[in-house]
Amino acid sequence: MAIIVQKFGGTSVADADKIRRAAKRAISTKEKGYQVVVVASARGKQTDQLVADALELNPNPPKREMDQLLSTGEQQTVSLFAMALEAMGQKAISFTGGQIRMMTDNAFTKASIQSINAEIMHEQLRQGKIVIVAGFQGIDEEGNITTLGRGGSDTTAVAIAAALDAEECEIYTDVDGIYTSDPRIFKDAVKMDQISYEEMLEMASLGAGVMHIRAVAFGKRYNVNIHVRNSAKDIDGTIITHEVPQMEGVVVSGATVQKDMAKIGLIGVDNIPGNAAKVFAHLAKAKVVVNDIIQTEVSDEKANLSFMTSISDLDTAKETVEGIKKEIGCQEILVRQDIAEVSVVGVGMRTHYGVADKMFGALAKAKINIDSITTSEIRISCAVDEDQAEKALVAVCRAFDLDKPASERTF
Ligand code: ADP
Ligand code: ASP
Ligand code: MG
């Protein structure tokens, strides 16, 4: 029997009515002949509330304890979801991450999934039950509860879909699908029918919070069909899939803005072999995720090295580079937190020219200064002052006609 995994985000299970609505959807999918696994997030803004509770007692809470606390939000949802299903006459069973042996490493607050025991879920599905699994959490080999990073329930769902070889993984959220840009900031953004894993990976890593980046990476690696949909409507959303040739015809598919980031600049590092390796080896050991590394030679003796990291990793990153400052001959460490990154993404950039020109032109026309520029084969990113981030995003969206369906764009 084919399996469908349905993930419901926080807003889609925020109260009893919404849990009932989600439960009805799971039942109607089962009635179509599928086995159904539901993955649920914490209700509404509960995870934010738990974070606030923790910070009230300790401004720098131990990460293990943070995971122990944050995982409780999802545990509440799944048991309530199972109760709602049972009340509708549908057999159901809920599981925490640990109960389905969702094994992760021990990188508390941003753990990576290593394996899942699919048989535990298969056994319950064979008994005709709907299985509900708590998103966002796992356990390490010592039995500690871990979490996968904010927004991580998407990753739980796609990883389970891969482990069960599911036909589709449906991600139910509060918008109709994936838009050309965040519809909360660019009101005229349009929904895409499909997007490639590659583009979605870039968009997710550059601030499009609609999908957790590791979920997209799992989807790509294990060929999971991901369908992002609105939990309040019965309409098709956006399919995330492998690239098809027509996608190259669209030069820019989407634009993003990322705000919760910081830039660390190491000024006047000794220009000798091995120094960059040293810096990033220490950062990796401290489990700091870095992006957009730029190194420039200042003279034969000195080089400047900068990188971006998320605000949540900033303290650890600062401590780490301070620790090796002397060793690498660094003269000064500069930190900027008032920075944001605006990016455009599209697989068509591989074969079209003029994208950089158009993007920089749009920012110039809006009188927005560019702090630094980074590119990959399918994206261009500009760091700008944080207070100009939204204006920059809108200017870029308008320049690339991201308020129109792909077929009507002039670029
Ligand atoms: P959930 O709680 O269902 O996981 P999220 O808040 O994580 O929901 O993700 C949905 C939100 O992502 C939307 O409300 C939207 O504001 C935001 N978002 C950011 N970029 C995009 C985009 N390109 N397309 C759609 N939504 C986006
Ligand atoms: N509840 C977690 C969060 O708010 C995980 C998720 O919603 O995906 O980040
Ligand atoms: Mg989410």
Mapping DSSP onto H, E and C, the string for the chain reads CCEEEEEECHHHHCCHHHHHHHHHHHHHHHHCCCEEEEEECCCCCHHHHHHHHHHHHCCCCCHHHHHHHHHHHHHHHHHHHHHHHHHCCCCEEEECCHHHCCEECCCCCCCCEEECCHHHHHHHHHCCCEEEEECCEEECCCCCEEECCCCCHHHHHHHHHHHCCCCEEEEEECCCCCECCCCCCCCCCCECCEEEHHHHHHHHHCCCCCCCHHHHHHHHHHCCCEEEEECCCCCCCEEEECCCHHHHHCCCCEEEEEEEEEEEEEEEEECCCCHHHHHHHHHHHCCCCEEEEEEEECCCCEEEEEEEEEHHHHHHHHHHHHHHCCCCCCCEEEEEEEEEEEEEECHHHHCCCCHHHHHHHHHHHCCCCCCEEEEECCEEEEEEEHHHHHHHHHHHHHHCCCCCCHHHCCC
Binding site membership of 181 for ligand 1 (Cβ less than 6 Å): yes
Identify which of 41, 49, 71, 113 to mutate to test ligand 2's pocket (most ligand atoms within 8 A of the CB): 41
Ligand 1 pocket residue status of 176, Cβ below 6 Å: no
For ligand 1, the distance from its centroid to the CA atom of residue 19, given in whole angstroms, is: 19
Quick check: pTM over 0.85?
yes
Give me the pLDDT at residue 411, please: 79
Both tokens of residue 405?
A: 């369906």
Residues facing 262 on adjacent strands: 309
Task: Assess whether the C-beta atom of 43 lies below 6 angstroms from ligand 2.
Answer: no
d(CA 75, CA 165): 25
What per-residue confidence (pLDDT) applies to 311? 93
Domain definitions of the chain by residue range: 3-174, 255-401
| pLDDT value at residue 195 | 95
For residue 257, count CB atoms less than 10 angstroms from its CB and return exposed for 0-12, middle for 13-18, buried for 19 or more: buried
Residue 41 near residue 9 (C-beta atoms within 8 A): yes
pLDDT at position 8:
98
- Per-residue pLDDT of 325-357, as tens digits, reads 999 999 999 999 999 999 999 999 998 999 999
Ligand 2 centre and the CA of 278: distance in Å?
34
Q: What's the CATH number of domain 3-174, 3.40.50.720, 3.40.1160.10, 3.40.30.10, 3.30.870.10?
A: 3.40.1160.10
Does residue 47's CB lie within 6 angstroms of at least one atom of ligand 2?
Answer: yes
Identify the pLDDT of residue 245.
80
| Fold matches, 3-174 and 255-401 | no
Query: For the segment 82-113, what is each residue's pLDDT rounded down to a tens digit?
Result: 999 999 999 999 999 999 999 999 999 999 99
CB 381 near ligand 1, within 6 Å: no
Compute the distance from residue 175 Cα to the ligand 1 centre, in Å: 7
pLDDT per position as a tens digit, 176-231: 999 999 999 999 999 999 999 999 999 999 999 999 999 999 999 999 999 999 99
pLDDT at position 249 over 90: no
| d(CA 150, ligand 2 centre) in Å | 5
Return the residue whose CA atom lies nearest to atom 10 of ligand 1: 210
- 228 CB within 6 A, ligand 1: no
| Mean pLDDT for the stretch of residues 363-374 | 96
Instruction: Give the ligand 2 atom nearest the CA of 152.
Output: 8
CA–centroid distance, 208 to ligand 1, in Å, is 7
Structure-token pair, residue 8: 């419901």
Which residue's CA is the nearest one to ligand 2's atom 5?
151
Q: Residue of the nearest CA to atom 4 in ligand 2?
A: 47
| Distance (Å) from CA 305 to ligand 1 centroid | 33
Give phi and psi for 64, each to the nearest 5. Answer: -60, -40
Q: Does ligand 1 have an atom closer than 6 angstroms to the CB of 44? A: no
CATH no., domain 255-401: 3.30.2130.10
